[in-house]
Chains A and B, each alone.
Chain A
Amino acid sequence: MQISDFLRGSPDGIDVKGPRVVCSFDVFGVTINLTETVIISWAIILAVTLLLLWLTSGMKTKNISKRQAVAEWIVQTVYGMVESSMGKRWRNFAPYIGALFTFSILGSLVSMLGLRSVTADFNAPLTWALITFVLIHGTNIRTHGIGGYLKGYVDPIPVMLPINILSEIATPVSMSLRHFGNVVSGMVITSLLYFALSAATKAVGVAFLTIGIPAVLSLYFDLFSGFMQAFVFVMLTMAYISNADGREPEA
């Protein structure tokens, strides 16, 4: 679709597609696709790395610059978040939470630049949910030992075993689908809205409908929803891992 299509009304209706495959190659018989999602992720990583380098360059202890204040604020905020929901013991976990939050929120917000959201590809939130899944079980085993970990599945009675297994599997599935669903539904609704508005424009013959209204909705679906889902995702990650730790978070 092009801008002119929006103004005239889309000629070929609505088509919501998955991410475009840039190239694909076979590795040991497995087809590896290099998709739009990955390319945009690289751009995000590059931008974030440059931004962080810029923010943290020329740091001083006194008379700090505004960008250093921003860098310190980010670090302190993430530390605060991690410590309040996981305890001081998990302080070292803060960089991962910061990275995950940033990747998720920027992955959603690239849609505002007209790119396809990274998080609108189910594989991205699925990967993060799988990382969380591994961390949950790793933490559980580390704290309770392999015996205590396995015993957890037959708690409080052995009959609960299938339900417990299901509940463990449900965690990453629900996390990834929630994130993906929210972002992609915003994308679908925005596409529908563009279609409807451009159809209305075609009927009325004036282009004013496609200006303004999408911006307001984009504010909700891209900015608010993107922030919200990133926040929910990292909060759940911290809550699950902290829960798997089982120990009381120390003050």
Chain B
Amino acid sequence: MNLDFLTIDVGTILFTLINTLLIFLAFKFILFKRVDAILAKRQEEVDATYTAADDALASANSDKEQYAKAMAGAKEEAAQIVSRAEKTAQREGDAILEQARTEAQAVREKATLDTEREKVQARTALQGEITNLAMELAEKIMEKEIDKTDHARLIDDFLEEIDSSEDGES
């Protein structure tokens, strides 16, 4: 048995109403509910990722700042070290220079002393020579023996006179 081609049938309407409700429930509680849940979850994850990225960026920035600060500190420290080293070097150099000067002075003094001593020695030797020479000369001139010691004293006196007059001049 078939229904008429175009007929309004209460039973079919009721069943179709129930069927439409069923398919609606299937859509709402299977498809939409599940997909909405997964979309919300994904959104949450995206948000979390963004937050994490922001945090990482902030931490990187603070690290950078700290690094820059540390770098500036290091530069200052380096400058200090260099200036301290310069001062030390200056001081040591000065000390070395001073010591050298002192030593040189000592050497020069010693040399002066030596020269003086040698001069004295030479003069003494020369006095002896001159005395002998004068005595021989006098012996030859006078052709006679004279008291060597008297003459030696006379010559020495004479030389001393010369010496003292030289000292007075110099």
Contacts and interface: CB of A to CB of B under 8 A. Distances in A.
B151 to A, nearest CB: 134
Contact of B17 (A30, A32, A53, A127): A127
A189 to B, nearest CB: 15
Contacts of A98: 27, 31-32
Interface string B97-136: 0000000000000000000000000000000000000000
Interface residues of A, number: 53
A20 B22 contact: no
Contacts of B15: 34, 37-38, 41
A21 B9 CA distance: 11
A95 interface: yes
B12 A95 contact: no
Secondary structure type dominating chain B contacts: helix
B34 A18 contact: no
B88 interface: no
A41 B16 contact: yes
Secondary structure type dominating chain A contacts: helix
A102 B23 contact: yes
Contacts of A32: 10-11, 14
Q: Counting chain B CB atoms within 10 Å of each CB, which of A72, A99, A128 scores highest?
A: A99
Given A45-B23, A95-B24, A123-B12, A75 B36 contact: yes
Contacts of A68: 38
Q: Counting chain A CB atoms within 10 Å of each CB, which of B2, B4, B8, B30 scores highest?
A: B30
Contact of B45 (A16, A61, A102, A121): A61
A21 B22 CA distance: 22
Given A33-B3, A95-B32, A127 B16 contact: yes
A122 interface: yes
Interface string B18-54: 0110111011101110111011011001000000000
Given A72-B35, A72-B39, A95-B27, A18 B11 contact: no
Contact of B9 (A102, A103, A123): A123
B20 to A, nearest CB: 6
Contacts of B16: 37-38, 41, 123-124, 127-128
A17 interface: yes
A108 to B, nearest CB: 14
B142 interface: no
B34 A56 contact: yes
B141 interface: no
Interface in A26-67: 30-35, 37-38, 41-42, 44-45, 48-49, 52-53, 55-56, 59-62
A56 B31 contact: yes
A18 B23 contact: no
A2 interface: no
Contacts of B30: 49, 52-53, 56
Contact of A33 (B9, B24, B26): B9
A48 B42 CA distance: 26
A81 interface: no
17 contacts: A31-B10, A32-B10, A37-B15, A37-B16, A52-B31, A56-B35, A61-B41, A61-B42, A98-B31, A99-B24, A100-B24, A121-B3, A122-B6, A122-B8, A123-B12, A127-B13, A127-B17
Interface of A: 16-21, 24, 30-35, 37-38, 41-42, 44-45, 48-49, 52-53, 55-56, 59-62, 68, 71-72, 74-75, 94-96, 98-100, 102-103, 121-124, 126-128, 130-131, 180, 184
